[in-house]
Each structure stands twice: as structure tokens, then as C-alpha cells.
């Protein structure tokens, strides 16, 4: 019995595969024929459109030539040369069977169309040479009038022959569509015959075989029910084992989360120590610049100013001395600015508000970009670590806006109550927050953004970055006001 079932199944499978293959081949063939014909018909429509446009262009060129010879002004602002070039190129492409517009179109032509293009070619060349002569500035008025007479003589013949060409294009396109209809009818009849044969030779045997299979399935239902009862007992045991597994997984997840929290805490401590070491090194280096190199440069400047009263033998020596004094002054200013950027003394003397105000003013002078500060400059002091952290975030955000955002205006906002909020907003080009921002010359301030986030996290605060393309970027730091100076 099993061997007989397998033989029947194999035979029916072969029939089914054969029938379905025939239907698939017929269906795909019809779809391909239709798709190809539609594409060809679209190309034919474009060709007919361009061929019809040739008539309009010839009439338009004739009118412009006549108006130019007569000296009559016209509202048509189209370039005569450009119009003549378009007319000539379209004719040549239609004649050669390779039309190039927004894409390349194949011009399907019969022998009759080739003959018609050969007949119209002398007329076209005569009109084209005459139009070129009218467009040439060196031609005499008499030559241009003679060319116009040739154009007026040849234009009716050109229009009549182009009409015939357009109608012939349309006729051949219609004949191709009718051929598609005939092929489609043949494919449809073949598909229906295949379905009829499948119903007679495959469907009816399958129905009979299915009846026998259902009868056998009914007989084996009792045995299957007994097996299901045994499986239910096994499922109960499996459920108990699954519960134990879930419990074990929860314990493992809890241990993993605890390990992750410990890693985060360790990373926070490491970051805090690193940033604190950086700030201490900046403070030391700023002090060295101010107290060491700055004082020596100031002394050098004083000595140089004393030499101003000494007469110089030549004027160029006096000029070089003045340039040297200016260079010393520039070095002193640069040293002071570098020292201020490393650790501004005003931050320790007057607080964060006054320091942000000074940062905005200095940035405006140095970059030429308008930087506006809004906030209270007489607030109570914050802990030194908080003031330094907020100042560094503002400094980093301001540098990013100047270097990468191409902004015209930057606004620094600062408030103390009810929460500590620091915001740096620009009107630059912005970026997509979902992806890493890409800047010119491959610069990506990933480390800068991560440093700002790390500083905000170490102060138990939140840092948010909102940005839209061509609408600017805003960096906001929010801290709970739990610190008292």
C-alpha cells in the first residue's frame, strides 16, 4: 500500500509540475510580451511626439527668420541658434534611428520610413543651410533675403512630407499593438486548454486519492489521541524543566546587570579622575604660562619700550624695531589668551556667569561671529568642580559651532533656578541626530561630544543635543540645584 501511494504521489507530482510549469511559462510569456510592447509603444509615442514637434519647430524657425529679416520685434525670447540646433539634431537622430532625449529611444523604422526620410533630406538640408545663413551675422541683407525666399519655398514641402512621416510612424506603432493582441489571444487559449487538461487528468485522481487518505486518517485518530495523552505528560515534565531554566536565566541576568553597573561605576570613577587630572594639569600649565613666560614676555616688552627713545641710524631699523615690538605684543596677547582658555582666572574670582559673558565677548572678537550671552551674572557661586564642568561644556559646544556649523549667530543661555540649565544654540547647518554627524574635511567631533556627556554625567546631570538640517543645533545641560556654594 505504501509503495502504491508513493507511485501515485510521484505520478501526480509530475503531472502537477508539468501543468504548473506550462501555465507559468504561458503567463510569464504574456507578461513579457505585454511589458516589451508597452515599452516599445512608449518609445513609439515619444518618437511620434518628436516627429510632430519637427513641424512646429520648422514653422517657428520660419516665423523668427521672417521677423528678423523684416526687423519686427517679437515676444518669443527663445534663442534662434538653440532652436535651430534642436531642430537639426532631432531630424538627424530620427533619420539615424537613435533618438536621445531624457534617455535613449530606439526609432523602429520600416523601409518605407527610410525612403521617406531619404526623400525629405534634400528639402531639410536646403532649409537648414538657409536658416544657418540667416543666423550668421556676417551675411549681407541680400543673402539673408535670398535665404528667406528659399525657406518660404521649401517649408510647405517639408511640412507635407513630415506629416506623412508622422502618420507612417503612428500607423506602424498601431500595427505592432494589433500583433500583440493576436499573440495575447493565442496565449490565453493555450492557458485555458492547459487548465482544462489539468482538471481532467490531475484534479479528479487527486480527489479520489484524498478520499482514501481521509478514511485512513480517521482510522488512525484513536491511536493519535493516545499518543497525544502521552505527549501531555511529557509536556508537563518539560514545563517544570522550563520553569527551572527561566529561574536560572533570571539569576544570570541579575548577575550580568550587577556586573554592568559595577563596570559603569568604575568607568565613571576613572573618567572623573581623568578629567580632574586634566583640569589640574591645565591649571598648572596656565599658571606657568601666566607667571613664567607671561612675566618674561612683559619684561621683554618693557625693555623694548625703553629702546624707543634711542635714535636709529637708518629708518628701516626703526621700522624693524616697531615690528618687533608689535610681535612681542601679539605673543603676550596670545599667551594670555592661551592661559585664559586653559583655566580662566575670572572663573575662580567672579563665577560662571561672568566667565561665560567674557567667553562670548572674546569669541565674538576672535571669530567675527555674533555670540550672545543671556543669563544672570550675579548668581551665587557653585562648587568649583561644577563651574569648571559647565564652563568646559560651553567651551566645547561653542568651538564645535564655530568650526563645523557655519553659524552666523550663537546664543549662550544660563539660568540657576529652579534648575541649573546651560544651553548653547546656533543657527548653523545642523545635522541628523540619528546618525553620527559628518563635517567637512572628515572631522568628526566624537571625542568632544563624549567629553561633554561624560562631564554632565559626572555632575549627575543630563546633556541633550537637538538638531535639524539647515535649522541649527542646540546643546543643553540640566543639573539639579542641589549644590550650594
Strand order in the sheet with 370-375: 370-375, 409-415, 420-426, 472-479, 462-468
Which residues of the chain, if any, have pLDDT below 50?
Answer: 438-446, 483-485
Spans of all domains in the chain: 15-217, 344-479
Domains 15-217 and 344-479 in one fold? no
| C-alpha cell at position 357 | 559673558
pLDDT confidence of residue 440: 44
Question: Which pLDDT score, from 0 to 100, does residue 268 have?
Answer: 62
Beta bridge partners of 475: 424, 465
pTM of the model: 0.39
15-217 belongs to CATH 3.20.20.150: no
- Which regions of 26-156 does DSSP assign to beta strands (E)? 98-100, 104-106
Residues 6+ apart with CB under 8 A from 29: 187
**How high is the pLDDT of residue 289?**
60
> pLDDT tens digit string along 316-367?
777 777 777 778 777 776 766 676 666 676 677 778 788 888 888 888 988 8
Query: In this predicted model, what pLDDT tens digit does every residue of 399-445 receive, in sequence order?
Result: 888 888 888 889 999 887 778 898 999 988 888 766 555 444 444 44
CATH topology of domain 344-479: Heat Shock Protein 90 (3.30.565)
Burial 208-247 (b: 16+ CB within 10 A, else e): eeeeeeeeeeeeeeeeeeeeeeeeeeeeeeeeeeeeeeee
Diameter over CA atoms, the chain: 128
Amino acid at each position: 500500500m505504501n509503495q502504491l501511494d508513493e507511485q501515485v504521489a510521484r505520478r501526480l507530482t509530475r503531472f502537477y509540475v508539468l501543468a504548473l510549469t506550462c501555465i507559468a511559462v504561458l503567463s510569464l510569456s504574456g507578461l513579457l510580451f505585454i511589458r516589451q510592447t508597452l515599452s516599445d509603444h512608449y518609445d513609439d509615442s515619444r518618437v511620434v511626439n518628436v516627429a510632430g514637434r519637427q513641424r512646429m519647430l520648422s514653422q517657428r524657425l520660419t516665423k523668427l527668420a521672417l521677423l528678423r529679416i523684416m526687423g519686427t520685434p517679437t515676444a518669443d525670447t527663445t534663442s534662434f541658434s538653440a532652436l535651430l540646433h534642436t531642430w537639426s539634431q532631432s531630424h538627424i537622430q530620427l533619420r539615424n534611428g537613435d533618438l536621445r532625449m531624457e534617455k535613449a529611444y530606439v526609432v523602429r523604422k520600416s523601409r518605407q520610413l527610410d525612403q521617406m526620410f531619404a526623400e525629405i533630406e534634400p528639402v531639410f538640408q536646403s532649409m537648414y543651410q538657409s536658416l544657418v545663413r540667416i543666423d550668421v551675422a556676417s551675411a549681407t541683407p541680400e543673402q539673408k533675403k535670398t535665404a528667406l525666399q528659399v525657406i518660404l519655398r521649401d517649408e510647405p514641402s517639408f511640412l507635407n512630407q513630415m506629416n506623412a512621416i508622422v502618420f507612417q510612424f503612428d500607423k506602424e506603432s498601431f500595427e505592432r499593438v494589433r500583433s500583440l493582441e493576436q499573440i495575447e489571444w493565442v496565449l490565453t487559449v493555450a492557458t485555458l486548454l492547459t487548465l482544462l487538461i489539468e482538471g481532467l487528468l490531475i484534479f479528479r485522481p487527486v480527489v479520489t486519492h484524498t478520499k482514501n487518505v481521509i478514511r485512513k486518517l480517521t482510522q488512525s485518530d484513536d491511536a493519535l489521541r493516545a499518543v497525544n495523552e502521552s505527549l501531555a505528560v511529557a509536556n508537563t515534565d518539560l514545563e517544570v524543566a522550563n520553569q527551572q531554566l527561566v529561574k536560572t536565566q533570571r539569576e544570570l541576568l541579575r548577575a550580568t546587570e550587577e556586573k554592568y553597573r559595577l563596570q559603569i561605576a568604575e568607568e565613571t570613577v576613572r573618567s572623573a579622575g581623568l578629567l580632574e587630572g586634566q583640569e589640574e594639569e591645565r591649571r598648572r600649565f596656565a599658571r606657568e604660562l601666566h607667571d613664567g613666560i607671561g612675566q618674561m614676555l612683559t619684561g621683554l616688552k618693557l625693555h623694548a619700550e625703553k629702546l624707543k627713545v634711542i635714535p636709529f641710524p637708518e629708518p628701516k631699523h626703526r621700522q624693524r624695531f616697531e615690528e618687533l615690538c608689535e610681535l612681542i605684543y601679539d605673543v603676550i596677547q596670545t599667551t594670555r589668551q592661551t592661559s585664559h582658555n586653559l583655566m580662566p582666572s575670572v572663573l575662580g574670582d567672579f563665577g560662571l556667569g561672568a566667565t561665560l559673558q567674557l567667553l562670548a565677548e572674546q569669541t565674538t572678537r576672535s571669530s567675527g561671529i555674533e555670540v550672545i550671552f543671556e543669563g544672570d551674572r550675579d548668581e551665587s557661586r557653585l562648587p568649583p568642580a561644577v563651574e569648571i564642568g559647565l564652563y568646559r561644556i560651553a567651551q566645547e559646544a561653542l568651538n564645535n559651532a564655530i568650526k563645523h556649523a557655519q553659524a552666523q549667530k550663537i546664543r549662550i543661555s544660563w539660568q540657576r533656578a529652579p534648575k541649573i540649565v546651560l544651553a548653547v544654540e546656533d543657527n548653523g547647518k545642523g545635522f541628523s541626530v540619528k546618525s553620527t554627524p559628518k563635517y567637512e574635511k572628515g572631522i568628526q567631533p566624537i571625542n568632544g561630544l563624549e567629553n561633554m556627556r561624560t562631564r554632565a554625567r559626572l555632575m549627575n546631570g543630563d546633556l541633550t543635543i537637538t538638531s535639524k538640517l539647515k535649522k541649527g543645533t542646540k546643546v543643553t545641560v540640566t543639573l539639579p540645584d542641589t549644590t550650594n556654594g
